[in-house]
Amino acid sequence: MTLKLIVANKAYSSWSLRPWILLAHFKIPFEEVVIPMDRPETRAAMLEYAPTAKCPSLHDGKIAVWESLAIIEYVAEAYPEKAIWPKGKAARAHARSLSSEMHAGFTALRQACPTNFRRKVKAVPLSDEVRADVARIEAAFAHARATFGKAGPFLFGRFSAADAMFAPVVNRFHVYDIPVGKPTRAYMEAIMALPAWKAWIADAEAEPWRVEKYEAV
């Protein structure tokens, strides 16, 4: 049975990108359902698929999984041959730690730089709190690359769940023209060169829906 992934607008939903880019990159067949955000019917439509009335959620027959990281873990269990997490024990533990840190943290960056995959590149003023988030992310990228990522351009060499979790950060750094070091920019370019990334961006740009609060920043 084909997996069904429920996502919100591709232009704005960073959480939806995470499992979507993972499934697309690893060529795992799935059907997608897109539910537009901030419309009168949005909550009811999302509630049909997840008890949180939020996206994303994944459906595998009668099994429902929600929250991006839980979806990624489910997919990793269902497709162990895909090496969705790094193979080495230490690398895998580190990747899970970084992914959980991303899931729970970097609030200042999220609030100051809302996700908009259609946004034209333009800088905005950054608070000290946002700069601290950026510094931590750059340090995390550099450490993972130096320790586990020498075999390829991604955090752990080959593309993994950790890269999927940080993919929305790549968009934020890029479209808000946030100053980063050359190693971070090289990593960003590797993510943005992925066919799955390009497909998501193309879909986002083609969407007819606009939410003013995300377009205004």
The answer to whether residue 157 is domain-embedded is: yes
Encoded tokens for 156: 């752990």
The answer to whether residue 148 is domain-embedded is: yes
Name the domain count of the chain: 2
3-state secondary structure string across 44-92: HHHHCCCCCCCCCEEEECCEEEECHHHHHHHHHHHCHHHCCCCCCHHHH
- What whole-number percentage of the chain has pLDDT above 70? 100
Interval 86-143: pLDDT, tens: 999 999 999 999 999 999 999 999 999 999 999 999 999 999 999 999 999 999 999 9
* Residues 78 and 95 both lie in one domain: no
* Residues 94 and 63 both lie in one domain: no
Task: Tell me which residue range forms the domain holding 21.
Answer: 3-82
Distance set, CA 214 to CA 8, 118, 129 (Å) = 14, 10, 21
* Residues 133 and 194 both lie in one domain: yes
- Is the pLDDT confidence value at 1 over 90? no
The domain that holds 34 is classified in CATH as 3.40.30.10
- Is the pLDDT confidence value at 170 over 80? yes
| Total-model pTM | 0.95
The answer to whether residue 125 is domain-embedded is: yes
- For residue 211, name the pLDDT band (cuts at 50, 70, 90): confident
The domain that holds 174 is classified in CATH as 1.20.1050.10
- For residue 215, name the pLDDT band (cuts at 50, 70, 90): confident
- For residue 216, name the pLDDT band (cuts at 50, 70, 90): confident
The answer to whether residue 211 is domain-embedded is: no
For residue 152, the model assigns a pLDDT of 96
* Residues 113 and 44 both lie in one domain: no
* Residues 69 and 106 both lie in one domain: no
Q: Environment class of residue 54 by beta-carbon count within 10 Å: exposed (0-12), middle (13-18) or buried (19+)?
A: buried
The kind and range of the H/E element at 34 are: strand 30-35
* Residues 192 and 108 both lie in one domain: yes
- Asked whether the beta carbons of 117 and 201 are under 8 A apart, the reply is yes
